[in-house]
Amino acid sequence: MLGIDKRLIVASTRRWLGIGIAAGVLGLLASLTLYWFIGRAIDAMAGGGNLLAAWLPWIGALLAAKFLLGWLYRTAQYRASSLTKLTVRDRIYGHALRLGPAVLDRKRTGELVNIAVDGMDWIEMYYGIYFVQFVIGMATPLLLCLFIGFTDWVVGVALLVSVPLTPLFLGMMARNFRKASERFAQVNAEQGARFLDSIQGMTTLKMFNLGKLRGAEMHAASEQQRVETMRLLLVNQMMILFVDFGFALGTTLVLTVTALLRLDAGMLTPGAVVALVLASAEFARPLTLVGQFFFAGAIGRAYAKKIAAFLGEQPGVADPEGVAPPPLETRPALSLRNLVFRFAGASRPAVDQLSLDVAPGETVALVGASGSGKTTVTNLILRTLAPAAGAITLGGRDVATVPADWARAHLALVPQDPYLFHGTIAENLRVARPDATEEQLVAACRAANIHDHIAALPEGYATRVGERGLSLSGGQVQRLAIARALLKDAPIVILDEPTSQIDLETEAVIHEALEHLTREKTVLLIAHRLSTVARADRIVVMGDGRVLESGSHAELLARGGVYAGMVAIGGSAA
């Protein structure tokens, strides 16, 4: 009924949950003791005595204890929920880093964001309201049975008959809630993903006049979301109705009638009857709260199931345990030996027995048709994918035997479609080097031929680039990516089609920036424009994940093979 993955209950959460439960139980015991004092005082007054004066310090102490325990109870709930929200969200992000783009690219971003944002709110409510209250709601009837049985065993037996019905009923409702809450969580996640898709693809929707159709689809999805929400609330209202009028009111009524009958028979005193009636209210209070927030527990468990499933996914590349990163190499050779990699469900390997050596300071271009394996080789070198067979070495060291961060520290990437975060130009540049000074930023941007443009902006390097850098042109974004690579100053530079999405005039500027970047560096170039490929020291032609031929531009043209055919057909190398 309270089942939740242990990975979501961190040590700090467990401690504060225990404190909250203990404070709630002790608060209940303080209340029952107070009711006992009140009952005894009433009986004393009925007999002509007065115990209030003697017991007033005890009653005051009990009231103070109830106040302090109530404060501790609420504080513990808040601390448990807030710490869980922070810690579990950090675990989601940390696991996303371990999974890497190779795994995350196969997921809908909106669903993952929904889990990490909306899901955390429900997890917080689960711990902040439901979990502790549920445990106390289950413990309360047992403590009340002991108290009432101590006061009068007949009334205690009458109450004890109804107590086992509580967990049975909650268990039955939990099964119904589980189905409804899982549907709600799934529909909610899908709607969040659909909305994000629509915002990110707004230009495409407008260009194809699909805005209204997409809006109708989202309206239908919102209606389904509303229906699932109402179903969930209906089950919760049934829960509240049954708990309030079935257990709470019914139990109080049974206890009160039985106590009055025992009073009429002379087996109970008036003070004992008052104490029992007051105690019956304690039975109703926690169960009423459980009923009101049962939906929070159900939805919290549904999201917990999704989070646990995400945390259970295995990364494509795992760091060796207990291995410290060795010192960085200054000019490492890069070697690929008999690499094999196959994507899940693919009929053939994307990389098949590929071997390649890149000497320090050498520029090697990878060319080939789409699907030939060029990008997969890049991802294997970047350690976002791990080969099924073969080895990659840097400076003679197998990268599978050291942390992936060590290998990546030797690599600077200028991708085909650079990603800029929502923030300033300076913040995006410092992604490569967080401690870079203003002078270092300017020097890198001068070398990347982008400083003059930045300096002409009203806010200079403090200018915000907009989400994904949409306020900049493609060439400007590409030059910022080159500046980032310059700031990193890694010995090996990977250029993934750096001029594929820019015009010829901008290409000349990019080439000049690339010359600054690659000077005295080892370069692995993926490109299709002949003007870029022809400058490489060596060109490696790939096909079906294998090396088909290798040599300089002139050598491959003279050989009249695959590369020469590519150049003859389209004037390009891919």
Tens-digit pLDDT profile for the chain (574 aa)? 455 566 677 777 788 888 888 888 898 888 888 888 787 777 777 766 666 667 778 878 888 988 898 889 888 888 887 777 778 888 887 877 777 776 766 666 667 777 777 777 777 777 767 777 777 777 777 777 777 777 776 766 666 665 555 555 555 665 666 666 667 677 776 776 676 676 666 656 666 566 677 778 777 777 776 777 777 667 666 666 666 565 666 667 777 777 777 777 777 778 777 777 777 777 666 666 666 666 667 777 777 788 888 888 777 787 888 888 888 888 999 999 999 998 877 888 999 999 999 999 998 999 988 888 888 899 899 888 889 899 999 988 999 999 888 998 999 888 888 888 888 889 989 988 888 899 999 988 888 888 888 898 888 889 888 666 566 777 888 888 888 888 888 899 898 876 655 555 566 777 777 777 778 889 898 876 666 788 788 999 998 899 999 998 889 899 988 888 888 876 555 4
Distance CA 52, CA 38 (A): 9
Q: What are the angstrom distances between the C-alpha of 453 and each of 450, 465, 475, 494, 541?
A: 6, 13, 11, 25, 37
Residue pair 336/392 in contact (Cβ under 8 Å)? The answer is yes
> What is the reported pTM?
0.68
Domains held by the chain: number: 2
Q: Do residues 107 and 191 both lie within one domain?
A: yes
Q: Read off the CATH number of the domain in which 14 is found.
A: 1.20.1560.10
What CATH number did the domain enclosing 429 receive? 3.40.50.300
* Same-domain status, 385 and 247: no
C-alpha to C-alpha distance for 486 and 521, rounded to whole angstroms: 11
Do residue 108 and residue 163 come from a single domain? yes
CA–CA gap between residue 14 and residue 104 (Å, rounded):
31
Domain's final residue, options 248, 277, 311: 311
Contact 340, 390 (CB under 8 A): yes
230 and 119 in a common domain:
yes
Q: Say which DSSP state 572 is in.
A: B
Q: Look-up: residue for tokens 């390009």?
A: 572
Q: Residue 30 is encoded by which pair of tokens?
A: 């303080």
Q: Residue 6's CB: how many other CB atoms inside 10 A?
A: 8
Phi and psi at residue 398, to the nearest 5°: -65, 120
Sheet strands side by side (includes 363-367) = 411-414, 492-496, 522-526, 363-367, 538-543, 546-551
What element of type H or E holds 101? Answer: helix 52-104
Same domain, 284 and 428: no
329 found inside a domain:
no
Do 292 and 369 lie in a common domain?
A: no
Q: What are phi and psi of 525, to 5 degrees?
A: -115, 125
- If asked whether residues 225 and 116 sit together in one domain, one would say yes
In a domain, residue 80? The reply is yes
What pLDDT does 110 receive?
67
Domain that holds residue 435: 334-570
> In this structure, is residue 184 part of a structural domain?
yes
One domain, residues 217 and 296: yes
Which helix (H) or strand (E) segment holds residue 117: the answer is helix 109-125
Are 240 and 295 within one domain?
Answer: yes
For residues 343 and 266, membership in a common domain is answered with no
For residue 459, tell me if it sits in a domain: yes
328 domain-assigned: no
266/381 same-domain check: no
As a whole number of angstroms, the distance between CA 126 and CA 296 comes to 6
301 and 354 fall within a common domain: no
Residue 276 maps to a domain: yes
Q: Which of 280, 311, 342 is the last residue of a domain?
A: 311
On whether residue 31 sits in a domain, the answer given is: yes
**DSSP letter assigned to residue 399:** G
In a domain? residue 263:
yes
